[in-house]
C-alpha cells in the first residue's frame, strides 16, 4: 500500500506540474515595453537588463524605452502606453495621489509595484576648489540635480527650500 501511495502521489504531482508547465500562452502579448530613463543612465541599464531576463523567462519580448524618468514612467503605465516603468517611491506616491507634475489631478491608481530595485542614498559632491563645505554653502549656487522628470528634479528643490 505504501508503494501504491507513493507512486500515485508522484503520478498526481507530475500530472499537475506538467499541466501547469503546458499552460496555453496564446493570449500572452508578444512584446512589452519598459519605461526607463535617459540612455546610459541607471534606469536604462537596469531596465534593459531586467527586460533581457524577463524575455528569456517568458518568451515575450521585453524592450526598454528611453523616457524622461520616473515621473513620466508612472504616467505612461497609468495611461496604458507602457506595461512597465521604472520609478522611485516618491514619484510613484505623488502619481498615486494625483500630484504628479506631469499629470496633476490624475490619480494613478492602476499602477502596481512589481519588485524593489535598489536603495538610494542622497549624495552631494563639490569640487574642493569651490569652497563648498556644507549644504548651506550651496545657497545661491547653480546646482545640477539630474534630468527633468527624475527623482532629483522632484526632491532636491524641496530639500533646498526646506533648508
pLDDT tens for 93-132 read 999 999 998 999 999 999 999 998 888 777 888 999 999 9
> Residue 54 falls within a domain, yes or no?
no
Cβ atoms of residues 38 and 66 within 8 Å? yes
Cβ atoms of residues 82 and 108 within 8 Å? no
> Residue 77 falls within a domain, yes or no?
no
Cα separation, 42 vs 117, in Å, equals 11
- Element holding 16 (H helix, E strand): helix 2-21
> Residue 153 falls within a domain, yes or no?
yes
Listed residue (42, 100, 104) closest to 72, CA to CA:
100
pLDDT tens for 26-80 read 888 899 999 999 988 889 999 999 999 999 999 999 999 999 999 999 999 999 9
Helix axes 151-162, 89-96, angle to 10 degrees: 90
> Residue 61 falls within a domain, yes or no?
no
Please report, for residues 7, 47, 72, 114, 122, the alpha-carbon distance to residue 117 in angstroms, rounded to integers and kept in the order given: 43, 10, 18, 9, 16
What are the helix and strand counts (H, E) for the chain? 5, 3
Q: Which domain holds residue 149?
A: 128-162
> Residue 144 falls within a domain, yes or no?
yes
Q: How many domains does one find in the chain? A: 1
> Residue 76 falls within a domain, yes or no?
no
pTM: 0.72
Cβ atoms of residues 95 and 78 within 8 Å? yes
> Residue 142 falls within a domain, yes or no?
yes
Amino acid at each position: 500500500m505504501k508503494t501504491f501511495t507513493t507512486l500515485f502521489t508522484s503520478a498526481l504531482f507530475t500530472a499537475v506540474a506538467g499541466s501547469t508547465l503546458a499552460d496555453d500562452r496564446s493570449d500572452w502579448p508578444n512584446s512589452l515595453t519598459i519605461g526607463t530613463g535617459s540612455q546610459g543612465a541607471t534606469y536604462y541599464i537596469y531596465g534593459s537588463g531586467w527586460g533581457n531576463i524577463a524575455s528569456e523567462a517568458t518568451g515575450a519580448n521585453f524592450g526598454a524605452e528611453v523616457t524622461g524618468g520616473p515621473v513620466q514612467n508612472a504616467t505612461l503605465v497609468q495611461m496604458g502606453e507602457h506595461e512597465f516603468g521604472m520609478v522611485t517611491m516618491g514619484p510613484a506616491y505623488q502619481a498615486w495621489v494625483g500630484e504628479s507634475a506631469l499629470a496633476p489631478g490624475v490619480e494613478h491608481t492602476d499602477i502596481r509595484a512589481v519588485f524593489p530595485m535598489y536603495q538610494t542614498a542622497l549624495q552631494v559632491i563639490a569640487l574642493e576648489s569651490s569652497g563648498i563645505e556644507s549644504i548651506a554653502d550651496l545657497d545661491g549656487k547653480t546646482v545640477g540635480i539630474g534630468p527633468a522628470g527624475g527623482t532629483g528634479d522632484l526632491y532636491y528643490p524641496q530639500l533646498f527650500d526646506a533648508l
